[in-house]
Amino acid sequence: MGMVGGGIGAFIGAVHRMAAVLDGQIELVCGAFSSNPEKSKASGAELYLPEDRVYGSFEEMIQKEKELPEGERMDFVSIVTPNHLHVPPAKMALENGFSVICDKPLAYNLKEAKELKEIVDKSGLTFALTHNYTGYPMVKEGRDMIKSGKLGKIRKVVVEYPQGWLSTLQENSDNKQASWRVDPKKAGISSAMGDIGTHAENLAEFMTGLKISELCADLTAFGEGRQLDTDGNILLRFDNGARGVLHASQISAGEENNLKIFVYGEKGGLEWHQMEPNSLIVRMLDLPMQVYRTGADRAYLGKSAMAHTRIPAGHPEGYLEAFANIYRNFAMTLRARMEGKEPDPQYLDFPTVDDGIRGMAFIENAVASSKSDEKWYKFTI
């Protein structure tokens, strides 16, 4: 793996590196860790990389790695930069024969995202997007329950992602994570919806298998001087007729990363909380509430949940393991394709460029709806 971004002081870069190496399938061999060459070199030294495999720019990294013999050069690129710097390295990597795994959202805007999809499709290479919450075993168990019809036709979906970390003007301090997320030049047209609302949208569509068809959004930029939304409330309509509510906020004071989802069908419902990820609550009509628990020894769980669980019940798996499931699946898929084999369908279970397109469309439709006088805004891509 070669990495773009994720240098000294970057939160998400460290998360990607930990997730990538968890299953022993991936090795970090090179990187362009900062747009500042000196900082990139310093970051590479901290990671014990050879000096000649630490680059001052992603352009230099891709070009020089391409010149190395097969078996020595990197096999793929991991992109962990702010939103506005996702597409340029992804585009160059794909055009030079390297597969890509990229942090979300996919791009700076929908136009960029569509252009990137064309490049991915033309290249025939493997592309993954780290909507990491889809990696949780109990999220996959819930998805499979819904797909099998256990809950009946889905009628209602409620998904929430409240955080409180931007309740104060963190961007005015030395908080790099806050400063770029509220900057339209780097984050795009949205902060809350772009950063965490897309996770909620992706989780709702991933678990239910439904697509948002219309929405009615109310977005607000709480915080003096802020231009981008830090809070949003959205009514949803899905393509099967189901109704939904999506709430994402960075100013819900006291909240941590409290992503949760409730799905209700004709026969029953389920509930999952990211802050208690090893449990899936299932409620069926005329039956007591059940709590499904993750664990590699849980014979009652489905094939997908079991395939994405590493340890026995009672040993909690969390955020890093879910993130690692995406990296592992990507790696196993890439390995199979490099060997000229068909990937195991279980390892194809990771978000793709198409999920990224829907995420970018969600952001733009939500912002447009919030500005519109129309109650319902047709979801378009």
Q: Which domain holds residue 79?
A: 2-129
Asked if residue 333 belongs to a domain, the reply is no
Any alpha helices (H) in the chain, and if so which ranges?
11-21, 37-46, 58-67, 87-95, 110-123, 137-148, 176-181, 184-187, 192, 198-208, 303-307, 319-338, 353-371
Report the amino acid identity of residue 325: N
Given a contact cutoff of 8 angstroms between Cβ atoms, the answer to whether 126 and 99 are in contact is: yes
Q: Are residues 192 and 118 in the same domain?
A: no
User: How do the pLDDT tens digits run along the chain, 381 residues long?
Assistant: 999 999 988 899 999 999 999 999 999 999 999 999 999 999 999 999 999 999 999 999 999 999 999 999 999 999 999 999 999 999 999 999 999 999 999 999 999 999 999 999 999 999 999 999 999 999 999 999 999 999 999 999 999 999 999 999 999 998 989 999 999 999 999 999 999 999 999 999 999 999 999 999 999 999 999 999 999 999 999 999 999 999 999 999 999 999 999 999 999 999 999 999 999 999 999 999 999 999 999 999 999 999 999 999 999 999 999 999 999 999 999 999 999 999 999 999 999 999 999 999 999 999 999 999 999 999 999
Domains: count for the chain = 2
Written in H, E and C, the secondary structure of 286-335 is CCCCEEEECCCCCCCCCHHHHHCCCCCCCCCCCHHHHHHHHHHHHHHHHH
Q: Are residues 142 and 170 in the same domain?
A: yes
Give the separation between CA 331 and CA 308, rounded to whole angstroms: 14
Q: Is 34 exposed, middle or buried (0-12, 13-18, 19+ CB in 10 A)?
A: buried
Residue with tokens 């003007």: 169
Choosing from 71, 101, 129, the residue where a domain stops is 129
Asked if residue 326 belongs to a domain, the reply is no
pTM of the model: 0.95
CATH number of the domain where residue 264 is located: 3.30.360.10
Asked if residue 338 belongs to a domain, the reply is no
Asked if residue 213 belongs to a domain, the reply is yes
Asked if residue 377 belongs to a domain, the reply is no
Choosing from 129, 150, 180, the residue where a domain stops is 129
3-state SS class at 14: helix
Q: Are residues 194 and 125 in the same domain?
A: no
Q: Are residues 308 and 211 in the same domain?
A: yes
Q: Which residues share a beta bridge with 235?
A: 216, 245
Helix (H) or strand (E) holding 77: strand 76-79
- Long-range contacts, stretch 56-61, CB < 8 angstroms, 24+ apart: 56/32, 57/32, 58/4, 58/32, 58/88, 58/89, 58/92, 59/92, 60/32, 61/2, 61/4, 61/30, 61/31, 61/32
Q: Are residues 261 and 146 in the same domain?
A: yes
CATH number of the domain where residue 29 is located: 3.40.50.720
Give the separation between CA 189 and CA 94, rounded to whole angstroms: 26
Q: Are residues 102 and 191 in the same domain?
A: no
Q: Are residues 44 and 193 in the same domain?
A: no
Choosing from 70, 94, 129, the residue where a domain stops is 129
Asked if residue 334 belongs to a domain, the reply is no
Give the separation between CA 22 and CA 4, rounded to whole angstroms: 19
Q: Are residues 170 and 64 in the same domain?
A: no
Give the separation between CA 134 and CA 350, rounded to whole angstroms: 8
Asked if residue 216 belongs to a domain, the reply is yes
Report the amino acid identity of residue 255: E
Q: Are residues 149 and 97 in the same domain?
A: no
Q: Are residues 66 and 208 in the same domain?
A: no
Q: Are residues 90 and 196 in the same domain?
A: no
Report the amino acid identity of residue 159: V
Asked if residue 339 belongs to a domain, the reply is no
